[in-house]
Every structure is written in C-alpha cells, then in structure tokens.
Amino acid sequence: MSPSAGRRVVDLFAVVPAGGAGTRLWPLSRSAAPKFLLDLAGTGRSLLQQTVDRLTPLVGPDGVLVVTGQAHGMAVRAQLPDLPAANLLLEPSPRDSTAAIGLAAAVLVRRSPDAVIGSFPADHVISDVDAFGAAVEQAAAAARAGYVATLGVRPKYPATAYGYIENGERLEIADAPSALSVTRFVEKPDRPTAAAYLSSGAFWWNAGMFVSRADVLLGHLARHQPLLFDGLSAIADAWDCGDRDSAMSSHWPALARIAIDYAIAEPVAAEGGFAVIPADIGWDDVGDVVALAGILGGPGDVQILGDRSRVLAVDSTGLVAQSGDRTVTLLGVRDVAVLDTGDAVLVTTMADAQRVKDLVAAWRDRGRPDLL
Amino acid sequence: MSPSAGRRVVDLFAVVPAGGAGTRLWPLSRSAAPKFLLDLAGTGRSLLQQTVDRLTPLVGPDGVLVVTGQAHGMAVRAQLPDLPAANLLLEPSPRDSTAAIGLAAAVLVRRSPDAVIGSFPADHVISDVDAFGAAVEQAAAAARAGYVATLGVRPKYPATAYGYIENGERLEIADAPSALSVTRFVEKPDRPTAAAYLSSGAFWWNAGMFVSRADVLLGHLARHQPLLFDGLSAIADAWDCGDRDSAMSSHWPALARIAIDYAIAEPVAAEGGFAVIPADIGWDDVGDVVALAGILGGPGDVQILGDRSRVLAVDSTGLVAQSGDRTVTLLGVRDVAVLDTGDAVLVTTMADAQRVKDLVAAWRDRGRPDLL
C-alpha cells in the first residue's frame, strides 16, 4: 500500500489501552491494582493519570478514550473523574492490544469519520512532555498523509528488554520533517544484537505508540485480520446506537488475541506503510525494579518510593518502596530492591529484576490468589 | 576469703534478672518489648517463660524470683501468671546486674537465711534441660561449700562475642565432681586470643549464670561494693515488713551501676572464691541475627521465625522473621536477615549482625522513639 496524501486536517483522538499486570513490579503491581493505576513516579499521580495529563493538552478534554477491563472500570473512573462516560470503553475479558485499539478505532470512526487516533500505553513515563507533544504533532501529520506513524525512542544503552524499530529513508512529509520510513520492527534482541543496533544509529526503541487515521488503521486490520475486523465492526455498529451489550457478548469472546505489533505493525511496515518519528522524550516503560529505580532518580544511593522520612539506609544501595506508616531500614545491603506493601514485602536484587514475575506464579501455586 | 564448708542443705532459689534491650535483634526486640519477652525460638513460649519453665522443676513453683523494670511489670505478670506476687521485684530504674541480683539476694536472705540462690539470665536459650539441671545441682553443691559457682559452657568455636572463664585445679567438692577453681574471668577476646582459648581446653564461655549462698554473695558485696551493699540492705530491711516504696526512693537511685562480672566475679575469682561447673547444655545467648538463625535450625536454606506458609524464598539463604498476616518473599538474596514487624522491616546481612544496634540510635536521632 502506498500512503494516501493531502486529506483535510482532522482532530486527533488519544486512545489509552490500560491493561497489563506489570508482574515484574510485584508486589506493588497486583491484578486488582495493576501498574497503570499506581503512582510509581512518586508524583501524586498514577501512571494512567500522568498519561491522560500529558495527552489532554494535545487532544482536548473530550479527546481521550480509555480502554480497560471491566474489573478496573470503577478504579479508572475514580482516578479520571473528568473522563466523559462515552470515552471509557470496558472490555468484558482481555483480548490483547489489537482488539482494544481496534475497538476504539471502530467506535471513533463512526463518531468522527476523519479521526486521527494515537494509541498511547497507560503505564509508561515520559519526562519531556514538550518533546512528546512535538513528536505526536509530527506523527499526526504523517498519519494524515496516510501512514501509521510510531514514535521511535533514541536508545540510551543496548537494552534487551525492548523491541526495536529500524528506519529507512526520510519520507519528506509536510509538517513531519523528522519522519522516516520503517524498514521493520524487531523483537527483544540479545545483548550483541542490541549493541549492534545501538551503534548503527538506525534503530529506535519501540515504545508502543501508534498514530494513524482511524480509517487507515481499520483498513489494515480488514486486510490482515479480517475476522477481527468483522467482529469489531459488528460491536462498533451497536456501540453508540444499538444493543451494545448484546453485540459485545456475541462477538467479543471470539476475537483473536493478538498484539498490535504482530497484527498491524510488522505486516504494514513490510508494505512500506509505517513511519517513525525519532523522539527524545525521556521515555521509560517502568517495567521492573531497575527501571523503577531509574525513574525515581533521587539523591543518595538508595532510591525511595514513598515517605523518605520512614526509610533509613546505612551502607546500602538500591531501591525501597515504602507504604503506609511502616518504616523500612537497610543495613549493609547492595543493589537490593525492597518493596513493602500492606500484605507483602519482597526482598530481591537488581540482578533478579526479570525473575520477579515468577513469584506471582509461585504464590498462585501456594493457593494465595489474594497476593497476585 | 577461703570458702566456708559443710553447711546444711538448703533450698535453691532462682533469680531471673529480666533486663537488657537486645538491640542487636531490633526491630524484633524493642524497649517496650525486649528480647526476654519474645518467642524467639518459635516454641510458643518467650525466652523468659522458657527460662522459668526450666527452673521451676529445680526450685519449685515458689522458688523463682524475677527482677525487672517497672515498665515491664505488667508484661511479666501476664507471661508468668503463676509467679507469686512476692517473687516479682520491680526496679524503678535500671541499675545494672549487681543491684538487681543483690536486691534479690538481700530480700531472700531475710526470708530464708540459708538460701542458695542461682542467677539465670532471662533471655538465653538452653536446649539440653537435663544437662542444665545436673550442672545447676553441682553448682548448688559448690555454693553450699562456700563458693560462688558459675556454669562454664564448652566453647564450640572461637567466639569473640562472649566473655570467657579460665579454670584452675579440680576442687574435690562433695556432690560437685566437675567443679574446678576459676583462675580468672576475661572479657570478649579478639579472634586470635579466642582461638588460643579454644585450643587450650581451659577456657569456657561465660553464660552469666551464678550460684551462691545468699549470705556468701552479700558478704562479697559488702567487702567489694560496701555502699551498694548498704543501700540494698536498707531497701531489703523494708521490703517485706516496712515502707518499701520509701526505702526504694531513698536508696535505689544512688546505687552504683555496675555489672556483677566486675563487682563480684573478677575480684572473687582472684581471691579463689569462684568455682566453675563445665556444662554442655546447648546454651545460646541469641544475641544477634546469626545466633537467632542458629537456634531456629529448621529445614532449608532460609531459617524462618513465624508462619512458614507466609514466607516464600527462591534462591536465597538467611533468616526471615515474619509477623501477623504479612507475607515475606525473598528472591536471589544471600546471607540476608529480614525482620518484619508491624511498624518496621529491617533488611540486613549476617555479616552486619553486630551493627544492627546502631540503627536504634539512628532512629532515635531521627526523632522516632516509638521505634526504639
């Protein structure tokens, strides 16, 4: 497919898929209180609230849609009291990101046929909001030119925990001077491959943000996942002016569980339909305790989430998450992560960050679903 | 002084000085809930209760006296409901072990002039109760022969955290076949000295247990600490049949703060008045997290105090103290000690065991007396 060009300027809508258990941040992140609902940056705002806070100036107060599981509906409403009721889309069961974003696109295109939509994960942090806004503006311009645009985060180190985007030639799109074509999306590489990506200068971290005309995105979906497209279309037809519940129960359970990276990004990039906007926006996915320590960035050798006055660290380095009235004291421990919640305390090391998710399964096996 | 010999057989009384903050076991041990009140062995009985449990068969239900601070009077009564009211001696302020034991001796000698008293710390563990009883029996025999007798624990390793007792010749006391003279008491040695003690075979760990006729002990006190003796005598004269409170407030505050090791043991040993009964009794002072892990001795690489079902340890070694409903999870941490209480969690290492006491001062400096 070659990108279509020169449509009229339309409003940007932001879709925020709020899902994912964040099990590498257990016991902070739980099935009932997942990562996106948590104030992991210690700012007083949850990651979801911060996401909406930085999108609202770009799309207006009615321009943000949140897609989340029914189990989290009340918590999301409580955290986002200004979100219009029509802009909260509740999933009866998890069907992965293509269904979540596709549903939002299908509903939006019926409300606003020329809508440009951007999809932005609810559980990441972005420290440079101005740079983020400028990048999204360019991505929207590329989207209006017919591309699916993504933000490519400049790699700071040879990360093995992120997927990468390889860029091709400059695209010469009006109002998107940074836009480059996307050659391919690649999954999490091993360390030598990541180092080669870093030194090549042509690879970018995939932050999972996509901007596209809604009709363009749905066109890709219709070609690459026609059954998914049909199911979402049936639901969207009923969403605002039909029997939404009946359509949902008829079609939602049968939708394919597939990530948008596989359903859309990889095949459309191969067709030349993807653009990347390189962006230095201070992005972090806060995926594990190492990342959490990184975003806190406070003084001293121990990063603290919570009440600093309740944490005492002597000859120690690492991370402490404090909660409630409880105090945490460290003595002589190095590169440690201590996460203290009401019912659980985890003591581990930065080197074990990736293995924390296994503990959730271990507690499940012990018959403690309340801890998951 | 040469020991007097051949008095009539008298009843043994056990004096249990229940004091000491146990700050190396913070945050388990607190000023309001010191070590002796805690169930550190996980048996369902506190160290104080265990101490009384093993002494009662030796001295009878009315033969145990507990000396403790007024602040702990209610807690001690609650833990020892069968302790006769007359057998609980409350100190208005801490005046160290000579005053505590001397007060008990002075009160007892007035109730029972031929009393033999044994002083046994309230916050140690002894795993071989039969061997302990046999050793106390020999110590009482040596006491009746006029000696101050102590139990010498056979050293298992070159400990630098304990004082030592050096023995001289065999004393040939009837009913105390193991009794040896004491050449000297020595304070905590350095590592090479401790190793030399261990290989000599003539040194024993000082477990702080002393058995003596009350009148003999008070005679030593009168000669070596005459002012302390006078003050305690004035208090004891009023204790059971006078104005106890008035005597206490007149004399107690002026008593010298001195440990019985300095006031009695060292000078009396130099005079030839001390006997040691070597004893293999499974003694441990449970002084720090290393000792605590040692006495727990459960299966696996992580020793657990508390509810085992609430502790999950993966690729970890060390000690976990769990409390209440809370869970503790370890992942990839070695030789760690995690002590979790209602208001404080400590994460440290076995190598830092001796430094834990410094944390109490650090929290005091931070204005948190509630944590001490």
Encoded tokens for B165: 């007792």
Mean pLDDT of chain B: 94
Would you give per-residue pLDDT tens digits along chain B (372 residues)?
333 322 223 579 999 999 888 899 999 999 989 999 999 998 999 999 999 999 999 999 899 999 999 999 999 999 999 999 999 999 999 999 999 999 999 999 999 999 999 999 999 999 999 999 999 999 999 999 999 999 999 999 999 989 999 999 999 999 999 999 999 999 999 999 999 999 999 999 999 999 999 999 999 999 999 999 999 999 999 999 889 999 999 999 999 999 999 999 999 999 999 999 999 999 999 999 999 999 998 788 999 999 999 999 999 999 999 999 999 999 999 999 999 998 999 999 999 999 999 999 999 999 999 999
What's the CA gap between B17 and B67, in Å, rounded?
5
pLDDT in the model for residue B106: 98
pLDDT in the model for residue A161: 87
pLDDT digits (tens, 9 = 90+) for A152-194: 999 999 999 899 999 999 999 999 999 999 999 999 999 999 9
- B105: closest CA among B251, B236, B257? B236
Residue A8 has pLDDT above 60, yes or no: no
State whether B363 and A325 contact (CB < 8 Å): no
Residue count of chain B, please give it. 372
pLDDT digits (tens, 9 = 90+) for A79-137: 999 999 999 999 999 999 999 999 999 999 999 999 999 999 999 999 999 999 999 99
State whether B332 and A355 contact (CB < 8 Å): yes
For an interface test with B, which of A326, A343, A347 has the most B Cβ atoms less than 10 Å from its Cβ? A347
Give residue ranges of B with CB < 8 Å to any A CB: 27, 309, 312, 314-315, 325-333, 336, 338, 340, 342-349, 351-352, 355-356, 358-359, 362-363, 366, 368, 371
What's the CA gap between A333 and B351, in Å, rounded?
10
State whether B348 and A325 contact (CB < 8 Å): no
For an interface test with B, which of A310, A325, A329, A368 has the most B Cβ atoms less than 10 Å from its Cβ? A329
pLDDT digits (tens, 9 = 90+) for A238-258: 999 889 999 999 999 999 999
State whether B345 and A345 contact (CB < 8 Å): yes
pLDDT digits (tens, 9 = 90+) for A184-215: 999 999 999 999 999 999 999 999 999 999 99
Partner-chain residue, chosen from B347, B355, B362, that has the shortest CB–CB distance to A338 = B347
What residues in B contact A314, CB-CB < 8 Å?
Answer: 355, 358-359, 362
pLDDT in the model for residue B334: 97
- For A193-205, the DSSP string reads HHHHHHHHS-EEE
What residues in A contact B371, CB-CB < 8 Å?
Answer: 327
pLDDT digits (tens, 9 = 90+) for A254-310: 999 999 999 999 999 999 999 999 999 999 999 999 999 999 987 889 999 999 999
State whether B312 and A359 contact (CB < 8 Å): yes
Residue B272 neighbours by CB distance under 10 Å: 16
- A292: closest CA among A276, A303, A306, A277? A303
Give residue ranges of A with CB < 8 Å to any B CB: 27, 309, 312, 314-315, 325-333, 336, 338, 340, 342-349, 351-352, 355-356, 358-359, 362-363, 366, 368, 371
pLDDT in the model for residue B3: 33
Q: Which helix or strand (DSSP H or E) is residue B153 part of? A: strand B148-153
Instruction: Tell me which chain B residue has its CA closest to the CA of residue A319.
Output: B347
SS3 assignment for A267-328: HHHHCCCEEEEEECCCEECCCCHHHHHHHHCCCCCEEEECCHHHEEEECCCEEEECCCCCEE
Partner-chain residue, chosen from A331, A342, A358, that has the shortest CB–CB distance to B348 = A331
For an interface test with A, which of B304, B327, B330 has the most A Cβ atoms less than 10 Å from its Cβ? B327
What's the CA gap between B289 and B336, in Å, rounded?
9
pLDDT in the model for residue B204: 98
pLDDT in the model for residue B36: 97
Partner-chain residue, chosen from A315, A329, A366, that has the shortest CB–CB distance to B346 = A329
- Which comes out higher in pLDDT, residue B22 or A78? A78
Do A124 and A23 form a contact (C-beta atoms < 8 A)? Answer: no
pLDDT in the model for residue A1: 33
Q: Find the farthest-apart pair of alpha carbons in chain A and give their distance in angstroms, rounded.
A: 64
Partner-chain residue, chosen from B329, B343, B363, that has the shortest CB–CB distance to A312 = B363
Encoded tokens for A69: 């599981």
Encoded tokens for B249: 């407030």
Q: What are the Cα distances from residue A311, in Å, to A278, A314, A322, A340, B348? A: 39, 10, 7, 11, 14
Do A233 and A102 form a contact (C-beta atoms < 8 A)? Answer: no
Q: What are the Cα distances from residue A334, in Å, to A299, A344, B356? A: 16, 21, 16
Distance of CA B207 to the CA centre of its chain: 7
